[in-house]
Amino acid sequence: MTKPLQIPPAAYDALLDNLPFQVWQMTYDCSYGRVNKAHAAFLGKPRDEIEKQPVEMIWPQPEASVMITRIRSVFESRQRETHEQWLVDAEGNRKVMCIDMAPVTDDAGVVQFLACSAVDLTEQWEAERDLELCRENADAEATKNIAQTVDLVWSAVSSLVHLAETLDENASMHLKRLSESCRVVATVLSFNSVYSQSLDYDFIHMLQQACLLHDIGKAGVPDSILLKPGKLTREEFDEVKKHTTNAAETLLQTIPNLTRSAMFQMAVDIALSHHERWDGKGYPVGLKGDEIPLSAQIVAICDVYDALRSVRPYKPALTHEVSMTEIRRECGTQFNPALCDAFFHCEEEIRHIYDDVQTK
């Protein structure tokens, strides 16, 4: 039998150092193992100051918390993960990095460490952004005309929503809190996260309006199900789940001429996808990770918090502290870890929004 090739440690380190991208190892306790020259240069530290050090000693917040969440998730799932993240290098330059984390197991299948790598996608991202800007400029005049029509129609739609909600004060207060919470969380997420470039003023402004229509599909669900005080049967829950697709279909059929509007598309995305989960176990499609539109992810976490704090036919209202504990429990499963970090960062403001716009 041919013996496996044994590579001396010095030769192995030399091989890693000659790679044109960053490579490092990560242990179960979220500490660094071996680090190649490219990764040490990105961090601006000698290797002996990085290796065997915990992540939180090397990276600032919130990057350290996001990395720890992802490291633990890969160890527990034993599944390889690839994601994009904005990071700041030793010279203060913001870079968008494609980070890959692969579990390395022993013969018994136990994960020994994570083999991690990072490729700089900044130039590619900038080229794609410039191309998109050219396309946008080419359509600027047409977009301006459409936008004027959209604003008029959307104003009418929002007015109708608010008029209908005056018949149900609880629902009206819920929408006000949801709109404000989405604004706060999106604003925090816009600072130093992989989503920073997407979360400009226009996105946040549209989000505050588009989220108002997230549950319009429930108009087609019988009150006997929506107001049921006990646990729903499987058939009843299947009916409730239809409110996502019903909402999207209603929007598309009601105002089909606005399908090119960014705000209209956001409203459809939110209505359809705000019950999807980060781990892919949501509905109606089972989208996973960033397959879920960012707008729907933001609405989802804010909507869940508000539901936890509110009285429902099937449960009492929970305190802020208990509600935050529930959300922390779902970080990385139901919710995007980066989004959770932003939500926790502004939790006092979220608490004040609920308390100030309290249901009477």
Residue 36, SS3 per DSSP: coil
Helices (H), 166-293: 169-189, 201-210, 223-226, 234-254, 262-273
Residue 6: φ, ψ to 5°: -100, 120
CATH class belonging to 140-356: mainly alpha
Assigned token pair, 12: 């192995």
Where along the chain do its domains lie? 9-125, 140-356
Tens place of pLDDT for every residue, the chain, 360 residues?
Answer: 455 545 455 655 677 777 888 999 999 999 999 899 999 999 999 989 999 999 999 998 888 888 888 899 899 888 998 888 888 898 888 888 899 999 998 888 889 999 999 989 888 888 888 787 777 666 665 556 555 555 555 554 554 455 445 445 677 788 889 999 999 999 999 987 889 888 998 899 899 988 988 888 888 888 888 888 888 999 999 999 999 998 888 878 766 555 567 888 899 999 999 999 999 999 999 999 999 999 999 999 999 999 999 988 888 999 999 999 999 999 999 999 999 999 999 999 999 999 887 744
| For residue 62, cis peptide bond before it (omega within 30 degrees of 0) | yes
- How much is the pLDDT for 172? 74
Residue 21 near residue 40, CB atoms below 8 Å? no
Assigned token pair, 355: 């308390």
Assigned token pair, 210: 């588009």
- How much is the pLDDT for 194? 87
Sheet strand arrangement including 111-120: 32-35, 22-26, 111-120, 94-105, 81-88
* pTM of the predicted model as reported, rounded to 2 decimal places: 0.58
**What are residue 102's DSSP bridge partners?**
115
CATH architecture of structural domain 9-125: 2-Layer Sandwich (3.30)
